[in-house]
């Protein structure tokens, strides 16, 4: 079974896939040059809500972490819904970071800027390791690269090492959300999650619980593209025991 191949993203210690696609537009490059340094996760040291948001309530602010936020639609949507919560997103693809910065800055004046988002351009696991255990209220992994070939299964974020790390960082009762439209990845993820039943409780009582996008789960562009192509999408929610 592919899930039993040796190694996973916590031991491979490298990022796969593209770092950049088409050249950034001038406005996007300006946001990367000027806004990103203001809201970037610190390069070293502990990553806490109090340190990131620097206010008197920071220590008690619920903290969310999104692994590979793509274009940032979900992260920005959740941050807009929950202004008293803090959101951390990590993404190695600079074009995705640039698009997320557009959302954070207020979508070209269409909305108010989001002050409760911090972004890491790079490896999500590097930041996740620096978050104190039990500090997260939510963790998200939405439409990750499926790496469909068996020999690449060790690159999938849904593997034992990352899940142990996510479990450690979530507080009891915290929620891990996983979404995909790739059937191979779904089967792999379900197989891996069965090995983590001591850490996570699957929040599904009926098929509609994972076939219909729950309220408060903003659609990503990857999900919209998958639906336009006729793909089924699965929404998996797990509670930290």
Catalytic residue from among 80, 145, 160, 209: 145
The token pair at 186 is 């779904």
Rounded to 5°, angle at Cα 204 from 203 and 206? 165
Q: What DSSP designation does 152 have?
A: G
Residues 6+ apart with CB under 8 A from 14: none
Cα separation, 210 vs 214, whole angstroms: 8
| Positive or negative torsion for Cα 60, 172, 122, 145 | negative
**Active-site residue flag, 107:** no
Catalytic machinery residues: 145
């Amino acid at each position: 079974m592919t899930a039993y191949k040796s190694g996973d993203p916590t031991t491979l210690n490298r990022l796969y896939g593209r770092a950049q696609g088409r050249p950034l537009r001038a406005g996007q490059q300006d946001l990367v040059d000027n806004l990103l340094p203001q809201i970037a996760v610190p390069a070293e040291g502990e990553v806490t809500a109090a340190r990131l948001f620097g206010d008197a309530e920071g220590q008690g602010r619920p903290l969310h972490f999104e692994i590979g936020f793509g274009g940032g639609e979900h992260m920005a949507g959740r941050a807009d819904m929950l202004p008293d919560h803090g959101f951390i997103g990590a993404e190695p693809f600079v074009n995705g970071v640039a698009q997320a910065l557009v959302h954070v800055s207020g979508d070209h004046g269409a909305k108010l800027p989001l002050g409760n988002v911090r972004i890491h351009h790079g490896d999500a696991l590097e930041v996740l390791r620096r978050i104190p255990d039990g500090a997260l209220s939510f963790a998200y992994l939405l439409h990750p690269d499926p790496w469909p070939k068996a020999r690449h299964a060790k690159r999938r974020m849904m593997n034992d090492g990352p899940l142990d790390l996510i479990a450690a960082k979530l507080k009891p009762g915290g929620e891990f959300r996983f979404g995909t439209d790739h059937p191979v990845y779904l089967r792999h993820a379900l197989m891996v999650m069965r090995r983590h039943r001591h850490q996570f409780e699957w929040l599904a009582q009926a098929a509609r619980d994972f076939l219909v996008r729950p309220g408060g789960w903003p659609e990503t562009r990857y999900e919209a593209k998958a639906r336009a192509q006729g793909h089924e999408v699965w929404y998996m929610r797990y509670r930290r025991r």
